[in-house]
Amino acid sequence: MTTEKNIILNTVQINQKIKRIAYQIYECNTDEKEVIIAGIVGNGYIFAEKLVETLNEISALKISICQVNINKKKPLEPVTTSLAVADYKNKSLVLVDDVLNSGTTLIYGVKHFLDVPLKRFKTAVLVNRNHKKYPVKADFKGVSLSTSIKEHIQIDFTEKEAKAYLV
């Protein structure tokens, strides 16, 4: 149950962050013909879909979306993607997740793509929490927060609204 005081980002603010990140991705890739937006399964993929929608509105780039399947409870299990390696090889790719907390999910996603030659590789998150176990950073981020270890960020995406809140 969320209360107004623990909401970090409301729908309008999240949409503003998505638009700003989309513009940053576009500016970083103006010389590219195609950009792959690879969303980590769950909220990362929903966030990626919203970025793709905005990128298609603001740019003439060919934008392809890819779902990255990582078992968040067992990240050592093999990572799979909805696109074949040949579909993103030698292209610009942005790996997307909703929250960068310890960095575990993102680092295993990064590890998967390091086995493939990419033209450019960036990461994007809606919320960066600054509690990393791994040396991974978000190139594009909506908001950075310093929170206690016991606090968690939850993001809810529904058809009509989105909320980020502290639990």
What confidence tens digit (pLDDT) does each residue in 78-94 have?
Answer: 999 999 999 999 999 99
Task: Let me know: does 143 contact 8? Beta carbons within 8 Å.
Answer: yes
Mean pLDDT calculated for residue range 4-26: 93
pTM of the full structure? 0.92
* 4 pLDDT tier (thresholds 50, 70, 90): low
Helical spans, DSSP H, in the chain? 11-28, 43-58, 85-88, 104-114
> pLDDT tens, 111-144?
999 999 999 999 999 999 877 778 888 999 999 9
- Full DSSP string of 20-63: HHHHHHHHHTTT-SEEEEEEETTHHHHHHHHHHHHHHHH--SEE
Report the C-alpha gap between 83 and 94 in whole angstroms: 14
Identify the CATH class of 4-166.
Answer: alpha beta
With bands split at pLDDT 50, 70 and 90, how would you rate the model's confidence at 1?
Answer: very low
Question: What local confidence, expressed as pLDDT, does residue 78 receive?
Answer: 92
Residue with tokens 């909220």: 43
* Cα gap 27→65, rounded to integer Å: 18
Average pLDDT value over all residues in the chain: 92
